[in-house]
Chains A and B, each alone.
Chain A
Amino acid sequence: MWKWLHPYAKADRAYQLCNTLLPYFAVITVVCMIVGWVWGLAYAPADYQQKDSYRIIFIHVPSAILSMGAYSSMAIAAIVALVWQLRNAELAVIAIAPVGACVTAIALITGAAWGKPMWGAWWVWDARLTSELILLFLYLGVLSLYHAFEDKKAAGRAASILAIVGVINLPIIHFSVEWWNTLHQGASITKFNTNAIDPSMFWPLMLNIVAFAAFVGTVTLMRLKNEILQREKHRPWVRQLLNRG
């Protein structure tokens, strides 16, 4: 693990890695998102009960999944940053945090828009909605803590600690809220063999999930590149890069 990670502790190697990965993520994002959205929004059959308004699922579910996925990757980066003292991992935490917060906000807003016609209210105090809202608070906490510090080195470490504390608490929050009140339907696509969702809707949904994941990856990589450049702006290799471009 260490041998494999070690080269990327150097900022210029990490920057290069970002550059190599970025086009793949970008291409997957564009292709999957176009195909997934057109398929989901135009060609997938309408639901027998919810008619066309169910189609927001193709944005709502991927963003909800990614809101948690982004938090866990942020926490993994934070653990790497604190255990191996890798500064690039700290930068990754900061690169992911706003992206994750945005995805969480998208999930909440699309959820509200879906809830209005289906449940008759923009917002209900249901378990999943509440824990998603708390997730947003945790993201905002990490972000505001980072920006409160003058010294960006300490800021990255503090944000990492908070991200780890948050990830330990997240399951507790999730289950306590679940126990507290539940109206939201359960997950439909956890068990692949006994699918609660029809294949004609399942595949475009999968495609959209992949697209969202790649999208989060793309934006994170772009932000990480910027963070590295900003942090290392006094280094010769950055100067060289800037002079060349």
Chain B
Amino acid sequence: MIRQHSYWQLFSAVCKKDLQLAFRQRAEIVNPLLFFLIVITLFPLAIGPEPGLLARIAPGIIWVAALLSTMLGLDKLFRDDYHDGSLEQLIASSYPLPLTVLAKVVAHWIITGLPLVLMTPLFALLLNLDTNALIATVLTLLLGTPLLSFIGAIGAGLTVGLQKGGILMSLLVLPLYIPVLIFATSAIETSTMSLDYSGQLAILGAMLVVAILSAPIAISSALKVSVS
């Protein structure tokens, strides 16, 4: 049990490794974004291009598209590490696994969630959202997408050892996403009526804090089951 590095060094090393891997394979970052954009394009084509209608359903579209596109990246979260054996080494090491997992989830959010938040103004333009609603959308995505990463990582940890884990993972994870979806879309809807939506944001923030504290523990026990 020799620990040569501080916890912070461990955290940043794991985070940096994952980010580097992602930036060398840019498709991993770009593909979920493209998927997000295409899903959003499909809706006006399917229901008609009337601006009022689009603005009305835009929060729902953006959020459902965000849920689906984060699901795409989740499958990759632990799979490569699982196949090349480094996951086993991380579990066997003397450093706390929840911390390692936290670092991986944070890196995953920076790769998949953050670009989504940054691209939102463009999507809002496509869907005819006004400035008020745009700010609300960005804020809810900022609080909500890390939450999605944390919840989704539990499902990813449980299914990483399985051959066809991808579709099963979406079955496990999507029901757990529902509260996030409800509070986020309700915040945006409230903002379109120019009302105060800080309550919904506070609840999203509270859920995020709980997720940061408890999800890494659940993820690490899930990973231990998958690797053993």
Contact surface of A with B, Cβ cutoff 8 Å: 82, 134, 137-138, 140-141, 144-145, 148-149, 154, 157-158, 161-162, 164-166, 168-169, 172-173, 176-177, 179-180
Contact = CB atoms under 8 A, between A and B. Distances in A.
B168 A176 contact: no
A165 B168 contact: no
A137 B175 contact: yes
Interface stretch (B95-103, B135-143, B176-184): B176-184
B207 interface: yes
Nearest to A154: B225
A169 B171 contact: no
B222 interface: yes
B225 A157 contact: yes
Contact of B226 (A140, A154, A162, A176): A154
Contact of A158 (B158, B175, B176, B183): B158
Interface residues of B, number: 26
B94 interface: no
22 contacts: A82-B221, A140-B171, A144-B171, A148-B162, A149-B162, A154-B161, A154-B226, A158-B222, A158-B226, A161-B154, A161-B158, A161-B218, A161-B221, A161-B222, A162-B158, A162-B172, A164-B218, A173-B175, A173-B178, A176-B178, A177-B182, A180-B186
A77 to B, nearest CB: 16
A157 B171 CA distance: 18
Interface of B: 154, 158-159, 161-162, 164-165, 168, 171-172, 174-176, 178-179, 182-183, 186, 207, 214, 218, 221-222, 225-226, 228
Nearest to A134: B175
The 3 tightest CB contacts between A and B, nearest first, are A176-B179, A137-B175, A141-B172
A168 B214 contact: yes
Nearest to A168: B214
Contacts of B176: 165-166, 169, 173
B171 A176 contact: no
Interface centre among B168, B172, B183, B228 (most CB of A within 10 A): B172
A138 B158 contact: no
Given A165-B176, A177-B182, A180-B186, A172 B168 contact: no
A173 B203 CA distance: 13
Given A158-B158, A168-B214, A138 B182 contact: no
B225 A158 contact: yes
B175 A172 contact: no
Contacts of A165: 154, 176, 218
A126 to B, nearest CB: 14
Nearest to A155: B225
A176 B158 contact: no
A134 B174 CA distance: 10
Contacts of A179: 182
B179 A169 contact: yes
Given A145-B172, A158-B225, 20 more contacts: A141-B175, A144-B172, A145-B159, A145-B168, A148-B159, A148-B164, A149-B161, A154-B161, A154-B228, A161-B158, A161-B218, A165-B176, A165-B218, A168-B214, A172-B179, A172-B207, A173-B175, A173-B178, A176-B182, A177-B178
Contacts of B226: 154, 158
A134 B175 CA distance: 6
Contacts of B178: 134, 173, 176-177
Interface centre among A140, A145, A173, A179 (most CB of B within 10 A): A145
A173 B180 CA distance: 9
B166 to A, nearest CB: 11
A165 B176 CA distance: 9
Contacts of A158: 158, 222, 225-226
